[in-house]
Amino acid sequence: MICSNCGHEILEGSKYCINCGAKIEEAVNVTEEFTEEAAPVDETSIDDTLNEAQEAYEQAASDLADTTDQAVGSDDSHSSSSFYESNETYTDYSEEVEEGGGNIGFAIASLVCGCLSILCCVGGCISWIFSIVAIVMGIITIVKKYDGKGFAIAGIVTGGVGILLSVIILVAMVSEGVLNELM
């Protein structure tokens, strides 16, 4: 049997052609000969079909050029022929951006804010602000799988230590002031 779509020989009883993948509805036996003569070809219908195909192609090219211009924010319009005749290559950068990776700045900022929270632990509120920023940025780095996981963990730890030290110093100041007033 042969495929009616591509003419490739197929096995008897196959439901799909292994060459083109077309569903086999009516398989034609290879040994069967066609006795019908081919119908005469009308050249005007072929020309009309080619013209329609050319118009559809030009419309699609124009639509693609307009879409590309809108995507890159270009205000000047290109004709479809100049779009395809240029040697410029359009690169789709959306596939290159992966989840995670890069953005090591979040991790470094987390560590720096954590260190500043320890250095400013006497200042109370300032230390807490640095600590909270360090912890939040460290968590963002870990959750989004950015580079610098070690920096992020160090930032979270130093932010926690900064909060702990500022609380201890605050308690010591309050108790020292209370003890001084009692004596």
Tell me the pLDDT tens digit for each residue of 111-152.
999 999 999 887 778 888 999 999 999 999 999 888 889 999
pLDDT given at position 24:
77
pLDDT in tens, the chain (183 residues): 778 778 878 777 777 787 787 777 754 554 445 555 556 666 677 777 878 888 888 888 888 877 777 766 654 544 444 555 555 565 655 554 455 567 888 899 999 999 999 998 877 788 889 999 999 999 999 998 888 899 999 999 999 999 999 888 888 888 877 556 655
Q: Identify residue 16 by its one-letter amino acid code.
A: Y
pLDDT at 100 (0 to 100)? 56
- Specify the pTM: 0.43
For residue 109, what pLDDT is reported? 92
pLDDT (0 to 100) of residue 97: 45
